[in-house]
Amino acid sequence: MRSFVLLILLSALLISPGLSRAQADEGVVLVCTVSNIPYGYVIVGKTSTEQCRVNVDLPERDNTFMIKRPGPKETICEQSPYPGDYAVVGRARLSTCPKPSNETDNNAWIITKLK
């Protein structure tokens, strides 16, 4: 039953009007934070969606991951899973990723596909 509900939520999120044109072009998909991140995808941001508020265990804010398949070089949220054929090569700051306690600290990794 839970899988069925998550499938319905994911379907609703894929057609969500909250997904910007730029995000759609980049292949960004929205999934609730209680969902597993599929292998081969990385987290590029966190946001809030009404669909993910259906689960009472989720807070009203930042209840949705923005995920995508990484390109040859990608900036992803810190602590995001990433495929085994990628390596972290640097740190950065992404406005879409959760903010660290110190606003000047980096909150993202730069990953590169290994050859």
Specify the higher pLDDT residue, 20 or 76. Answer: 76
Whether the per-residue pLDDT at 53 is higher than 50: the answer is yes
Question: For the residues 20-41, what does the mean pLDDT come to?
Answer: 78
Q: Where are the alpha helices (DSSP H) in 1-111?
A: 2-14, 21-26
Quote the strand ranges of 63-115, DSSP E: 64-68, 73-77, 86-92, 108-113
At residue 59, the pLDDT reads: 58
| Residue that has been written with the tokens 């994911």 in this structure | 10
Residue type, 8: I
pLDDT score, position 1 = 44
Closest CA to 78 of 88, 86, 69: 88
DSSP state of 9: H
When the pLDDT of each residue in the chain is averaged and rounded to a whole number, the result is 79
Question: Residue 61's pLDDT band (boundaries 50, 70, 90)?
Answer: confident
**CA-based angle 111:114:115, to the nearest 5?**
145
pLDDT value, residue 56: 54
Strand partners, 67: 29, 43
Retrieve residue 26's tokens: 């980049």
The band of 51, judged by pLDDT with boundaries at 50, 70 and 90, is confident
